[in-house]
């Protein structure tokens, strides 16, 4: 039966096992886990980022007994020095009181005496498989000892610690709240309307957990609780509470009953109208996200590059609240670049870019970013994929460019296992494909740029293929100067929306948005002119057909670039516009929506973070709340309303003379793996 000490408030779990098994564990160790290896007898503290093998060693039992290291380090090194901490050892639950961390350290220090009783006690404390009878009946004065049944008993402890001994055969060994039903990721920030999972661990001396009556009751009405299985409850906050919420968990069997509480502070429960922002990067590196995607559970994946030691591809997974779950880098021989990402119906992740030797690169990974398949496509030198999408059959379409002719747009269709189905080359003439989308009939639309001298220097390019990659039509769009298409989205009515940039005045870019029908005829076209250069890089359509595009706009006051987000109706009328930036350049490249139409944007910031440029991720509600917002952690940037006008564009479109060919391609399966990495990550809720 667990004995409870009155300590303080957060939770640290205590786990044990041999180092071999911990080294085989392929997920980051959560930051509420204190690991002890039963063979090497070394402590390590998780940080929610690193694998076990990557964590630094803490103190060992041998060095504590020898006196070369202090057991106090178990708390001061491996656990935050916080007087509001709670400790759980092998599910032994410690409840809150006025006892401070300094008092706990004194208890650990008392165990460190060199007599046999205290050495045996220390081993018992840290080894969850040895918490049985140790032959110790009682500790010396001012010391603690472990006896049978996991009971902690005092010799004669200082009066400042209170022993709460229980003789009931029923107990609750621990309670926690998680963002996922697998109870992998502890929740620290809560959004109204999202589902969280409360897990209690009840135990009875003589009956199974299924025989117990389990309840979870909240102290306020602004919460919906649903019982699931074996101590699991789903929890949904329906409003931001005025006061802190107390959740009381109870377990009952006959006349035996026990309860315990957990308190959720009101200031960590956020309305969905709040804006969440995360910044990720190194101390002196240039790091950025190029694109972003969500899976069926609302988890968010950002893909781009990290430059700690040359260019490496980077993929970061976040939970729906922008808590970082894992970060992986891909660094083959030579630099690699990752440019786009998509998720199939099974939540597998497909990432495209370029390999270090100049070949096209496409990677299939599971939802935890374990590589399933990696394929390199050789056409010629300096090949790369820039965009990727998935059709209704979970086939994968990737687009980019190759130097087979001059510099040519390239599209290839794979099955879900990355076996080639068909490919096409946009040749002759310089061209590149940057993005791709499919309509409801799985027709394929590739967009990018070409310099076939039809209108001006560079023109926008859109090419339509049927689902078998048979060429249907190709259009070139432009005025007298440079135009480029950067991203494409197709709504449920098969309206085709493309964004990019146009030049009306030499060397000054305007953000461009064009709507086409399925015959590639222009339906509407608009441009945005700010105080200087403006550019639209990403576009998405929500469930009601509103269009959201992102990019940058020049800020005359700060002489830098600011992130811009514009929401439009299907007729390209402005519904809302936000600007987000600081004293340096900040840009959004990609945009996505989740199942609730919340908007997720990705790019980089130079105004915030630890390095030169740091990867930026922003989550904002579908309503795009009006007003100005800033953070307390990330306070160097402000999000505010921006009143803008979109101007009609009169650019022309005409047929291209190109008839895409079927190029000779070499498909190479490669063995490779991602590397778990970590840089500085900061998250904030703007208000």
Neighbours of 631 (CB within 10 A): 21
Counted domains in the chain: 3
Task: Judge if 498 and 612 occupy the same domain.
Answer: yes
Taking all residues of the chain, what is their mean pLDDT, rounded to a whole number?
77
d(CA 102, CA 8): 11
The verdict on 179 and 33 lying in the same domain is no
Residue 98 and residue 185 share a domain: no
pLDDT at 508: 87
Please check the confidence at residue 439 and state whether its pLDDT lies above 90. Answer: yes
**CATH number reported for the structural domain that contains residue 179 in this entry:** 2.60.40.1080
Q: Give the pLDDT confidence score for residue 140 in this predicted structure.
A: 41
Q: Based on the domain organization, do 316 and 300 belong to the same domain?
A: yes
Taking a C-beta distance cutoff of 8 angstroms, is the pair 215, 259 a contact? no
pLDDT at 159 over 70: no
Q: Which pLDDT does position 617 carry in this prediction? A: 95
Among 329, 206, 332, 187, CA closest to 262: 187
- Same domain membership, residue 256 and residue 211: yes
Domain membership of residue 599 (yes or no) is yes
Q: Tell me the pLDDT band of 567, cut-offs 50, 70 and 90.
A: very high
At 240-279, the pLDDT tens digits run: 888 889 999 999 988 888 888 888 888 778 776 678 888 8
Q: What's the rounded mean pLDDT across residues 468-482?
A: 88
Q: Are residues 32 and 83 in the same domain?
A: yes
Domain end among 104, 134, 164: 164
pLDDT of 138: 38
Give the mean pLDDT of 393-416.
Answer: 88
Highest-confidence range of 54-58, 66-70, 292-296, 328-332, by mean pLDDT? Answer: 292-296
pLDDT given for residue 134 in this prediction: 36
pLDDT the model gives residue 467: 96
Please indicate, yes or no, if residue 676 is contained in any of the structural domains. no
Nearest to 35 by CA among 63, 11, 55: 55
Q: Indicate whether 454 and 562 sit together in one domain.
A: yes
Pairing mode, strands 384-390 and 675-676: unpaired
Burial of 103 (0-12, 13-18, 19+ CB in 10 A): middle
Q: Which has more pLDDT, 48 or 141?
A: 48
Q: What is the distance between the alpha carbons of residues 270 and 274, in angstroms, rounded to a whole number?
A: 7
Neighbours of 483 (CB within 10 A): 29
Which residue range(s) make up the domain with 198?
Answer: 171-270
pLDDT at 559: 86
The predicted structure's pLDDT at residue 441: 97
Which of helix, strand or coil describes residue 236?
strand
Buried b / exposed e along 170-180 (16+ C-beta atoms within 10 A): bbbbbbbbbbb
pLDDT at 657 over 80: no
Within a domain: 680: no
Question: For residue 257, is the peptide bond before it cis, meaning its omega torsion is within 30 degrees of 0?
Answer: no
- Residue 268 has a pLDDT of 79
The pLDDT of residue 379 is 59
Quick: pLDDT tens for 42-84.
777 777 677 888 888 777 766 655 656 554 444 333 333 333 3
User: Is pLDDT of 154 > 50?
Assistant: no
Q: What is the CATH number of the domain that holds 535?
A: 2.120.10.30
**pLDDT of 481 higher than 90:** no
Please say whether the beta carbons of 477 and 653 come within 8 A.
yes
Q: Are residues 409 and 478 in the same domain?
A: yes
Per the model's pLDDT, the better-predicted residue between 343 and 426 turns out to be: 343
Task: Give the residue with greater pLDDT, 440 vs 77.
Answer: 440
> Are the beta carbons of 144 and 106 closer than 8 angstroms?
no
- Do 411 and 538 share a domain, yes or no? yes
The per-residue pLDDT for 97 is: 30
Question: Is the domain of 221 the same as that of 320?
Answer: no
pLDDT tens-digit series, residues 638-654 = 999 998 888 888 777 77
Most confidently modeled range among 10-19, 176-185, 580-589: 580-589
254 domain-assigned: yes
On whether residue 686 sits in a domain, the answer given is no
Residue 378 in any domain: the answer is: yes
**How far, in Å, CA of 313 to CA of 61, rounded?**
40
Question: Does residue 282 contact residue 308 with C-beta atoms inside 8 Å?
Answer: yes
Asked, for residue 313, whether it belongs to a domain, the answer is: yes
Confidence of residue 308 (pLDDT cuts 50, 70, 90): low
Looking at per-residue pLDDT, the higher value among 474 and 116 belongs to 474
Among left, alpha and beta (phi > 0; psi -120 to 50; other), residue 237 is beta
- Cα 589 to its chain centre, rounded Å, is 17
Boundary residue ending a domain (140, 164, 188): 164
- Confidence (pLDDT) at 155: 37
Shared domain check, 315 and 239 = no
pLDDT value of position 169? 80
Domain boundary among 164, 190, 223: 164
Rounded to two decimals, the pTM is 0.68
Whether 313 has a pLDDT exceeding 90, the answer reads no
Do the domain assignments include residue 179? yes
pLDDT value of residue 130 = 31
Task: Please report the pLDDT score of residue 686 as a whole number.
Answer: 84
| d(C-alpha 142, C-alpha 145), whole Å | 10
Q: Could you read off the pLDDT of 101-129 as tens digits, one per residue? A: 444 444 444 444 433 333 334 343 333 22
The pLDDT of 80-100, averaged and rounded, is 33
Question: Please, which residues bridge with residue 152 across strands?
Answer: 146
324 and 423 co-located in one domain: yes
**pLDDT at position 38 over 60:** yes
What string of H, E and C letters represents the secondary structure of 600-617? EEEEEECCCCCCCEEEEE
Pairing of strands 33-37, 13-17: parallel
**pLDDT tens by residue, 192-246:** 877 889 888 888 877 777 888 999 999 888 899 999 877 899 998 888 888 889 9
pLDDT reading at 336 higher than 50: yes
Q: Which stretch of DSSP H or E encloses residue 100? A: none
């Amino acid at each position: 039966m667990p004995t409870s000490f009155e300590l303080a408030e957060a939770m640290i779990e205590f786990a044990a096992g041999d180092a071999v098994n911990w080294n085989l564990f392929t997920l980051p160790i959560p930051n509420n886990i204190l690991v002890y290896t039963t063979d090497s007898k070394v402590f390590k503290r998780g940080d929610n980022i690193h694998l076990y093998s990557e964590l630094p060693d803490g103190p060992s039992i041998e060095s504590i007994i020898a006196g070369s290291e202090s057991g106090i380090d178990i708390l001061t090194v491996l656990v935050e020095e916080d007087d509001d901490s709670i400790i759980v050892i092998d599910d032994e639950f410690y409840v809150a009181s006025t006892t401070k961390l300094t008092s706990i350290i004194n208890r650990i220090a008392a165990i460190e005496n060199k007599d046999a009783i205290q050495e045996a006690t220390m081993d018992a404390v840290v080894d969850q498989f040895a918490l049985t009878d140790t032959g110790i009946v009682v500790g010396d004065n001012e010391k603690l000892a472990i006896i049978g049944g996991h009971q902690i008993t005092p010799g004669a402890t200082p009066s400042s610690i209170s022993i709460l001994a229980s003789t009931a055969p029923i107990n609750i060994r621990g309670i926690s709240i998680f963002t996922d039903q697998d109870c992998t990721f502890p929740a620290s920030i809560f959004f109204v309307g999202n589902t969280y999972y409360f897990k209690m661990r009840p135990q009875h001396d003589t009956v199974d957990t299924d025989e117990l009556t389990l309840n979870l009751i909240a102290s306020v009405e602004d919460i919906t609780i649903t019982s699931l299985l074996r101590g699991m409850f789903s929890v949904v906050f329906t409003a931001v509470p005025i006061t802190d919420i107390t959740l009381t968990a109870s377990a009952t069997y006959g006349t035996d009953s026990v309860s315990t509480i957990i308190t959720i502070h009101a200031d960590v429960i956020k309305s969905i109208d709040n804006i969440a922002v995360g910044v990720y990067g190194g101390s002196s590196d240039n790091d950025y996200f190029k694109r972003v995607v969500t899976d069926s559970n609302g988890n968010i994946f950002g893909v781009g590059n990290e430059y700690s030691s040359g260019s490496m591809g980077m993929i970061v997974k976040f939970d729906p609240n922008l808590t970082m779950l894992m970060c992986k880098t891909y660094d083959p021989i030579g630099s690699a670049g990752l440019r786009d990402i998509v998720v199939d119906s099974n939540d597998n992740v497909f990432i495209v870019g370029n390999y270090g030797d100049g070949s096209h690169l496409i990677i299939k990974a599971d939802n935890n970013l374990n590589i399933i398949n990696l394929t390199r496509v050789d056409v010629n030198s300096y090949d790369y994929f820039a965009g990727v999408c998935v059709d209704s059959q979970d086939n994968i379409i990737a687009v980019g460019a190759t130097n087979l002719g001059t510099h040519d747009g390239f599209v290839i269709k794979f099955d879900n296992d990355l076996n080639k189905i068909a490919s096409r080359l946009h040749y002759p003439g310089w061209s590149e494909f940057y993005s791709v989308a499919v309509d409801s009939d799985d027709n394929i639309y590739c967009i990018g740029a070409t310099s076939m001298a039809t209108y001006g220097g560079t023109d926008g390019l859109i090419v339509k293929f049927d689902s078998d990659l048979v060429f249907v039509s190709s259009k070139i769009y432009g005025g007298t100067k440079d135009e480029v298409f950067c991203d494409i989205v197709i709504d449920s009515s098969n309206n085709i929306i493309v964004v990019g940039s146009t030049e009306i005045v030499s060397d000054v870019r305007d953000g461009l948005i064009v709507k086409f029908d399925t015959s590639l005829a222009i339906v509407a076209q608009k441009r945005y002119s700010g105080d200087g250069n403006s550019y639209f890089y990403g576009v998405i359509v929500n469930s009601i057909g509103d269009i959201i595009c992102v990019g940058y706009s020049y800020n005359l006051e700060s002489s830098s670039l600011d992130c811009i987000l514009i929401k439009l109706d299907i007729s390209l009328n402005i519904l809302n516009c936000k600007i987000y930036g600081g004293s340096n350049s900040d840009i959004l490249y990609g945009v996505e929506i989740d199942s609730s139409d919340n908007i997720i944007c990705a790019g980089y910031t130079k105004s915030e973070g630890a390095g030169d440029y740091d990867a930026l991720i922003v989550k904002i509600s579908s309503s795009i709340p009006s007003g100005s917002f800033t953070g307390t952690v990330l306070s160097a940037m402000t999000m505010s309303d921006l009143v803008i006008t979109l101007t009609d564009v009169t650019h022309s479109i005409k047929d291209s003379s190109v008839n895409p060919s079927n190029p000779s391609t070499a498909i190479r399966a490669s063995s490779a793996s991602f590397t778990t990495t970590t840089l500085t990550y900061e998250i904030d809720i703007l208000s």
